[in-house]
Amino acid sequence: MKIHYTIAMPEPHTHYFEVSIAVSEIQLPFVDFKMAAWTPGSYLLREYAQHVETYSAKAGRKKAKVFKTAKNTWRVMAENASKVTFSYRMYAFDMTVRTNFLDSNHGYINPAALCMFVAGHQQTPATLTIQPYETWEKVTVPLPPANTKKPFTYQVPDFDTLVDSPIEIGNHQVFSFEAADVPHHLAWYGLNKYNEEQIKKDFTAIIEASTDIFQEHPCQEYLTQDYTFIVHILDRKFGGLEHLNSTSLHFPRETFDTKKGYARFLNLTAHEYFHLWNVKRIRPVELGPFDYERENYTRLLWVAEGFTVYYENIILRKAGLIKDGKFRKGIAETITRVENTPGNQVQSVTDASWDAWIKAYRPNENSPNTTISYYSKGALIALMLDLHIIYETQGEKNLDDVMRHLYQSYYKAQQRGFNEEEIKQALEEVSGKNLDSFFEKHIYGTQTLPYNRYLAHVGCKLTPTIEEKTYLGVSTVRVAKKLRVTRVRKDSPAYRTGLNVHDEIVKIDDQKVKDLSKFMEDKKPGDQVKVEICRDGNVKKFLIVLEENPHTTYKLTMQKNRTDKQKQAYKKWLRKT
Ligand SMILES: [Zn+2]
């Protein structure tokens, strides 16, 4: 069977891509075309088929019968022809890394969201032709060119590779450089005042620091032998999605206005670049080959994402892009975030991973009370395990040895992912210690991580401070002169009394309140306040006894009189030896 995709965009201002898939040398009476429901790396069923419209088919040169057999499946009757062509229009106006976008300025394609697969033929090689809008001159896609004179035509070894090849079309900037002996290309869309030379220099440092952890770069032996960054600078939020030899990154336009913005730019770049190894190659066994039609469950996103978050700052530290103080500050901020989330006591990271599809990607007003992020908690688990390995091996090894081991043993030697038992075994093998209890308490359970015990190995300690003494337990937002409750913290005075999200706080102690934190400055735990709220037009009054605010801010400081052993372990931790 031969498969050829054509993607056209003759009227980009209407936001429609026109896709046709020609399938020849068929032997069955019909061909089923299926649209993926989700994109690997983003664990939510997005039902991309919702954007398909006006479809048609041909068998040979004649019009063919086509009908749907499921929400994402179209059946084309072959009528004894050996070739069928299925065409559809796809609405594309969702500018995220996981969706498609097309307007009069440019087009972006996340192929899982645009290109259907031929049922039963995900492994069949295909070709792809992009027909850019008439005034557009560039196509950036991390696929090798096909052996043809047809412009913008590429080889597609299989459907998984197509899904892993995001596409930017338009008149964007492209600049290239070499790092870690691999050519890198940057496709850059968006107005901004970036400094090309600075970015090349900083990206090179990130690439070399990441490659140094593994001692080899996977793109050297991959398809195109290069790596592509697609960067969008937009009036929107941050976002990134990892692929086999590329990544898509979205940054808000103000990114380059401040040092903080630029620091986040480097953090997200380091994050997505580390995914080149962790998740795209060192992967939980359940994550590939993928079933694109339904949820692919794993308990290991705390490794796939959490370890990657931890390595952001390890890489930036190794690359010389952040100093020790910033590195420690990053960890203290993550601890502050995790330890002030009530859901940390409710949901384990393994459950958080499994339920990503219905919880992490579908948050509601109660999520902080009941869930924990496998990103930030996973990063703290990585921290604990890194410190544990350094201590138990007398500074000989660290978490890098575990990552290398997983890369060599599972990805390279066996070409498969690892399971829950195997990640534990790898950690035990490198540290030389049994981790039954750690896993039971902190990974499958929700017991608080023993921060100070582990941080002492490297001569550090956590210092807690309480900034706001008294609290009611609600977060609020002021819109149209009304103060509305946006969150009620579990087990707080407001929670126990019955304040709800969406309630309007009309008065407290008969005063109008604009800023709740300011109001609390004069209050003490034990004070009683009269809270008047309005809910759906009904006024209600509550007498609430204020309590001590449990919100704690952590700082990571150096112990005085550190031993030589601690100093050496600290260096190993910060990757200075
Ligand atoms: Zn990630």
pTM over 0.75? The answer is yes
pLDDT tens for 308-347 read 999 999 999 999 999 999 999 999 999 999 999 999 999 9
Give the three-state DSSP class for 232: strand
The predicted structure's pLDDT at residue 91: 98
Report how far ligand 1's centroid is from the alpha carbon of 241 (Å).
Answer: 7
The predicted structure's pLDDT at residue 442: 98
Identify the CATH number of the domain defined by range 470-548: 2.30.42.10
Residue 463: CB atoms within 10 Å: 11
pLDDT tens for 82-119 read 999 999 999 999 999 999 999 999 999 999 999 999 99
The predicted structure's pLDDT at residue 221: 85
Report how far ligand 1's centroid is from the alpha carbon of 153 (Å).
Answer: 30
CB 222 within 8 A of CB 281: no
Comparing CA positions, the residue from 229, 488, 206 lying closest to residue 370 is 488
Report how far ligand 1's centroid is from the alpha carbon of 165 (Å).
Answer: 17
The predicted structure's pLDDT at residue 468: 81
The predicted structure's pLDDT at residue 223: 87
pLDDT tens for 520-565 read 999 999 999 999 999 999 999 999 999 999 999 999 999 999 999 9
Q: Tell me, yes or no, if the two domains 172-276 and 470-548 fold the same way.
A: no
The predicted structure's pLDDT at residue 329: 97
Report how far ligand 1's centroid is from the alpha carbon of 238 (Å).
Answer: 12
Report how far ligand 1's centroid is from the alpha carbon of 181 (Å).
Answer: 24
Report how far ligand 1's centroid is from the alpha carbon of 451 (Å).
Answer: 24
- Is the pLDDT reported for residue 222 higher than 90? no
pLDDT tens for 138-150 read 999 999 999 999 9
Confidence category of residue 237, pLDDT binned at 50, 70, 90: confident
Contacts of 428 (CB under 8 A, 6+ apart): 434, 435
Report how far ligand 1's centroid is from the alpha carbon of 419 (Å).
Answer: 19
Report how far ligand 1's centroid is from the alpha carbon of 330 (Å).
Answer: 17
pLDDT tens for 337-389 read 999 999 999 999 999 999 999 999 999 999 999 999 999 999 999 999 999 99
Q: What is the CATH T-level fold of the domain 279-459+559-577, as seen in this structure?
A: Neutral Protease; domain 2 (1.10.390)
Mean pLDDT of 9-31: 97
Helix/strand/coil (H, E, C) string of 341-388?
CHHHHCCCHHHHHHHHHCCCCCCCCCHHHHCCCCCHHHHHHHHHHHHH
Which tokens go with 239? 């976002």
Domain locations in the chain as residue ranges: 2-170, 172-276, 279-459+559-577, 470-548
The predicted structure's pLDDT at residue 67: 98
Report how far ligand 1's centroid is from the alpha carbon of 373 (Å).
Answer: 12
Report how far ligand 1's centroid is from the alpha carbon of 128 (Å).
Answer: 28
Report how far ligand 1's centroid is from the alpha carbon of 535 (Å).
Answer: 40
What whole-number distance in Å separates Cα of residue 112 and Cα of residue 146?
21
Report how far ligand 1's centroid is from the alpha carbon of 395 (Å).
Answer: 28
Report how far ligand 1's centroid is from the alpha carbon of 557 (Å).
Answer: 28
Report how far ligand 1's centroid is from the alpha carbon of 230 (Å).
Answer: 16
Q: Which residue has the higher pLDDT, 27 or 33?
A: 33
Report how far ligand 1's centroid is from the alpha carbon of 92 (Å).
Answer: 24
Q: Which residue has the higher pLDDT, 236 or 149?
A: 149
Amino acid letter, residue 361: Y
Report how far ligand 1's centroid is from the alpha carbon of 279 (Å).
Answer: 8
Tell me the H-state helices in 16-103. Answer: none
The predicted structure's pLDDT at residue 347: 98
What whole-number distance in Å separates Cα of residue 319 and Cα of residue 337?
26
What whole-number distance in Å separates Cα of residue 569 and Cα of residue 573?
6
Mean pLDDT of 262-291: 97
Mean pLDDT of 396-406: 98
pLDDT tens for 97-107 read 999 999 999 99
Q: What is the CATH T-level fold of the domain 2-170, as seen in this structure?
A: Immunoglobulin-like (2.60.40)
Report how far ligand 1's centroid is from the alpha carbon of 240 (Å).
Answer: 7
Report how far ligand 1's centroid is from the alpha carbon of 199 (Å).
Answer: 21
The predicted structure's pLDDT at residue 292: 98
Confidence category of residue 57, pLDDT binned at 50, 70, 90: very high
Q: Locate tokens 């692919």: which residue?
A: 296
Q: What is the CATH T-level fold of the domain 172-276, as seen in this structure?
A: Neutral Protease; domain 2 (1.10.390)
- Is the pLDDT reported for residue 193 higher than 80? no
Phi and psi at residue 533, to the nearest 5°: -125, 165
The predicted structure's pLDDT at residue 398: 98
E-only strand ranges, 190-332: 227-234, 239-242, 246-252
Comparing CA positions, the residue from 55, 50, 49 lying closest to residue 19 is 55
Report how far ligand 1's centroid is from the alpha carbon of 363 (Å).
Answer: 18
Report how far ligand 1's centroid is from the alpha carbon of 243 (Å).
Answer: 10
Report how far ligand 1's centroid is from the alpha carbon of 163 (Å).
Answer: 17
Report how far ligand 1's centroid is from the alpha carbon of 275 (Å).
Answer: 7
Report how far ligand 1's centroid is from the alpha carbon of 305 (Å).
Answer: 5
What whole-number distance in Å separates Cα of residue 262 and Cα of residue 443?
33
Report how far ligand 1's centroid is from the alpha carbon of 405 (Å).
Answer: 21
Confidence category of residue 194, pLDDT binned at 50, 70, 90: confident
- Is the pLDDT reported for residue 508 higher than 80? yes
